[in-house]
C-alpha cells in the first residue's frame, strides 16, 4: 500500500520511521510519502490560509495549494488514491472504516489546520477520486495530523505481514464488535494481586468461555452501544 500524507507539519510524521510501521516500510509493505503543503505555494510567505468568507473566527486553508498537491500526487501514481481528510465534521473513524481503507492500494491523507480546509478542495478531490471525511472522535483537535497518524496506524497494522501474529488482530477490541478480554502475564502474583485461576488451569475450553464472558461483561459495562 502507498500512503501519501500532506501537512504543513511534515516533521510530525517522522515517528512513522520507527516501530512496526517503520519496519513495514523497510520491508516494502508500506510506501509512506510525507509532503509539505507549502511546497505547493508560490508566494514569498508560502501562504496556506486566509480569512473566511462570511466572517467568523480564525482562518481557512486556501484551496490552491491543496489542488496542486492533489494533482501532483495523482500525476505520480498509477491510479486515483482514496482521499482521506480527517475533520471533526466527518463520519466516525471505526475499525470497520480501517478495514475498508486497508483494502485500498493508495491512500492520500490531507491534514488540515486552522479552522479547516476550503470546502471546494473536497469537491475537487471527489471529482477525481473517492473522498472519505472521517472524524477520530467527538472532541476538537488543533489539526488533522494526530487523527491521520491514528488512522494510518489503524489501517497500516491490518496490511498482511505488518503485524507479526495476524491471529491477534482477530481478538482485539472492536474486531468482533466486542471489547477484548482482560490479559495477564507473569508473575502469577504481583503486589498481592493474583491471576484468575482459570487462566492457569490449562483447560483451553474453559479459558475461552471465561474470556468470552469477560468480553461480554466489559462491553455491557463500558460500551453498551456496541451491543445495541
Ligand atoms: N479527525 C478529526 C478531528 C479534528 C480535526 C481534524 C482536522 C482539522 C483541521 C483543523 N482542525 C481544527 C479545527 C478546530 C475547530 C473547528 C470548528 N470550527 C467551527 C467553525 C469553523 C470550524 C474545526 C477544526 C481540525 C480538527 N478535531 N477533532 C477530531 N476528531
What's residue 170's pLDDT? Answer: 64
Sign of CA dihedral 73, 75, 76, 77: positive
Q: What local confidence, expressed as pLDDT, does residue 164 receive?
A: 78
61 touches ligand 1 (CB under 6 Å): no
What is residue 178's predicted lDDT score, i.e. its pLDDT?
93
| pLDDT score at 20 | 81
pLDDT band at 218 (very low <50, low <70, confident <90, very high): very high
**Mean pLDDT computed over 50-55:** 98
Residue of 58, 135, 141 with the most ligand 1 atoms within 8 Å of its CB, for mutation: 141
Q: Considering the chain, what is the average pLDDT of its residues?
A: 95
Percent residues over pLDDT 90 in the chain: 89
Q: Which atom of ligand 1 is nearest to the CA of 138?
A: 30
pLDDT at 13: 97
Model pLDDT, residue 65: 98
Ligand 1 atom, smallest distance to 147 CA: 1
- Is the separation of the CB atoms in 131 and 101 below 8 Å? no
| 76, pLDDT greater than 70 | yes
C-alpha cell at 3: 500512503
Looking from the CA of residue 142, the nearest atom of ligand 1 is 12
Query: Per residue in 184-216, pLDDT tens?
Result: 999 999 999 999 999 999 999 999 999 999 999
Q: What is the mean pLDDT of residues 94-117?
A: 98
Burial 156-176 (b: 16+ CB within 10 A, else e): bbbeeebeeeeeeeeeebbee
Find out whether the beta carbon of 91 lies less than 6 Å from any atom of ligand 1: no
**How many other CB atoms are there within 10 angstroms of residue 72's CB atom?**
15
Cβ(206)–Cβ(198) under 8 Å?
Answer: yes
Cα radius of gyration (the chain): 21
Res 51: pLDDT: 98
The answer to whether the CB of 7 is under 6 A from ligand 1 is: no
Q: Report the atom number in ligand 1 closest to the C-alpha of 114.
A: 10
21-35, 61-75, 110-124: range with lowest mean pLDDT:
21-35
Residue 139 scores a pLDDT above 70:
yes
pTM tops 0.80, yes or no = yes
Report d(CA 1, CA 183) in Å as an integer: 32
Q: How confident is the model at residue 90, as a pLDDT?
A: 98
> What is the DSSP code (8-state) at residue 36?
E
What percent of the chain shows pLDDT beyond 70? 96
In this prediction, residue 18 carries a pLDDT of 87
Q: What residues are designated binding site?
A: 112, 136-141
pLDDT value of position 207:
98
What is the pLDDT at residue 171? Answer: 62
Give the residue numbers of the binding site for S-adenosyl-L-methionine: 112, 136-141
What separation in Å is there between the alpha carbon of 49 and the centre of ligand 1? 15
Indicate the SS3 state at residue 12: helix
Higher pLDDT: 87 or 24? It is 87
Residue with more model confidence, 169 or 66: 66
Amino acid at each position: 500500500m502507498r500512503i501519501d500524507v500532506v501537512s504543513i507539519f511534515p516533521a510530525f510524521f517522522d515517528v512513522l520511521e520507527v516501530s512496526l510501521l517503520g519496519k513495514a516500510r523497510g520491508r516494502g509493505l508500506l510506501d509512506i510519502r510525507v509532503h509539505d503543503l507549502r511546497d505547493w505555494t508560490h508566494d514569498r510567505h508560502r501562504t496556506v490560509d486566509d480569512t473566511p468568507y462570511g466572517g467568523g473566527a480564525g482562518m481557512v486553508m486556501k484551496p490552491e495549494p491543496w489542488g496542486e498537491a492533489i494533482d501532483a500526487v495523482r500525476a505520480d501514481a498509477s491510479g486515483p488514491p482514496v482521499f482521506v481528510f480527517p475533520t471533526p465534521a466527518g463520519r466516525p473513524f471505526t475499525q470497520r472504516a480501517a478495514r475498508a481503507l486497508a483494502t485500498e492500494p493508495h491512500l492520500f491523507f490531507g491534514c488540515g489546520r486552522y479552522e479547516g480546509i476550503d470546502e471546494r478542495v473536497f469537491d475537487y478531490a471527489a471529482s477525481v477520486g473517492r473522498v472519505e471525511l472521517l472524524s477520530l472522535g467527538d472532541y476538537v483537535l488543533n489539526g488533522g495530523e494526530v487523527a491521520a497518524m491514528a488512522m494510518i496506524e489503524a489501517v497500516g497494522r491490518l496490511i498482511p505481514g505488518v503485524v507479526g501474529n495476524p491471529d491477534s488482530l482477530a481478538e482485539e477490541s472492536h474486531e468482533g464488535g466486542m471489547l477484548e478480554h482482560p490479559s495477564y502475564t507473569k508473575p502469577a502474583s504481583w503486589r498481592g494481586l493474583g491471576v484468575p485461576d482459570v487462566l492457569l488451569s490449562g483447560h483451553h475450553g474453559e479459558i475461552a468461555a471465561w474470556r468470552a464472558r469477560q468480553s461480554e461483561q466489559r462491553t455491557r459495562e463500558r460500551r453498551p452501544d456496541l451491543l445495541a
